[in-house]
Amino acid sequence: MEDMLSWMEEGGQVGICDATNSTRSRRNMLMKMAEGKCKIIFVETICNDQDVLERNIRLKVQQSPDYAEQTDFEAGVRDFKERLAYYEKVYEPVDEGSYIKMIDMVSGNGGQLQINNISGYLPGRIVFFLVNCHLTPRPILLTRHGESLDNVRGRIGGDSSLSEVGEVYSRKLASFVEKRLKSERTASIWTSTLQRTILTAQPIIGFPKIQWRALDEINAGVCDGMTYDEVKKNKPEEYESRRKDKLRYRYPRGESYLDVIQRLEPVIIELERQRAPVVVIAHQAVLRSLYAYFADKPL
């Protein structure tokens, strides 16, 4: 907690103190430590489903470094249950300060969300995110659109249709999706509003298709329609700025990767909410950002 507070004072914005703060006195101590330094929100999850608990315990023993040296799996499970029993003896439910309490929400069949003393933009976004999260496993398939005519010409941006190679790709993708998701009738196909993604999705039948403006390619602003060689020749300072810091570089009257990441937030929340498979047909910068989120890559 002290490490986290000093990091916050050095400019950190959000810290997560992952610990079983199961008594009032412990939580009060944390709130006292944070006074005048940062705001604390307690997040408590309560699960009464014994099957889910058993599955989680076994997953924890299987994956936790605490049990890496333990060769007897069942002995590890017994040890973990003993630790839980100890926590149960001293446990006092959260009812102080700012808190978000999720009760039996894991199955997605109802459950309860209790929030107390939550205000401000970021705490509100945290609540919104937690409401939409669940543990139902499902595939999320990311693919770029088929080759476009502008790709062939090496031009940035634009809204051209597919090349012959791109059309072949769209048919092969349809065949793949129909085989891969044949038993998943509730799956959906998401595209941007640009015709190269819509045309790539066209041969896929049997699934609803949703267009998202937030999935459109990075806006290249004044460089839209140019080749990289033309940018290098006509706007050498822009070419060099982009080469030096691709993440933060913003095209004049266009976007940066950071802008793209920000506009993808509603897409990510909606992807987290989905319980059925989703096929996302989008663009290079957009897919890099989505992939980085799901693969937990640093900014």
Residues 278-293 pLDDT 10s: 999 999 999 999 999 9
pLDDT at 211: 98
User: What is the four-CA torsion angle of 75, 76, 80, 82, rounded to 10 degrees?
Assistant: 20
Name residue 182's amino acid. Answer: K
Least reliable range by pLDDT among 48-57, 208-217, 249-258: 48-57
pLDDT at 247: 96
CB atoms within 10 A of CB 280: 24
Contact status, residue 156 vs residue 227, Cβ threshold 8 Å: yes
Domain annotation for the chain: domains and CATH numbers: 1-132 (3.40.50.300), 140-295 (3.40.50.1240)
The label of the residue with tokens 């049997």 reads 206
Is the pLDDT at 170 greater than 70, yes or no?
yes
According to DSSP, the residues that pair with 216 across neighbouring strands are none
pLDDT at 153: 96
Q: Is 217 a catalytic residue?
A: yes
Among 150, 216, 217, 238, the active-site one is 217
Largest CA distance in the chain: 71
CA distances, 253 to each of 86, 221, 246 (Å): 59, 5, 16
Name the helix (H) or strand (E) containing 294.
helix 284-294
Mean of pLDDT over the chain: 93
Among 145, 147, 150, 255, the active-site one is 145
Among 10, 18, 35, 88, the active-site one is 18
Is the pLDDT at 246 greater than 70, yes or no?
yes
Beta strands in the chain (DSSP E): 41-46, 98-103, 112-116, 140-144, 188-191, 209-211, 278-282
Among 38, 47, 79, 104, the active-site one is 47
CB atoms within 10 A of CB 15: 15
Q: Is the pTM of this model over 0.85?
A: no
pLDDT at 16: 92
Cα 173 from Cα 144, distance rounded (Å): 10
Residues 200-227 pLDDT 10s: 999 999 999 999 999 999 999 999 999 9
pLDDT at 109: 67
Residues 75-124 pLDDT 10s: 999 999 999 999 999 999 999 999 999 998 876 667 889 999 999 998 99
Nearest CA to 141 among 211, 203, 191?
191
Is the pLDDT at 52 greater than 90, yes or no?
no
Residues contacting 295, CB < 8 A, separation 6+? none
Q: Is 18 a catalytic residue?
A: yes
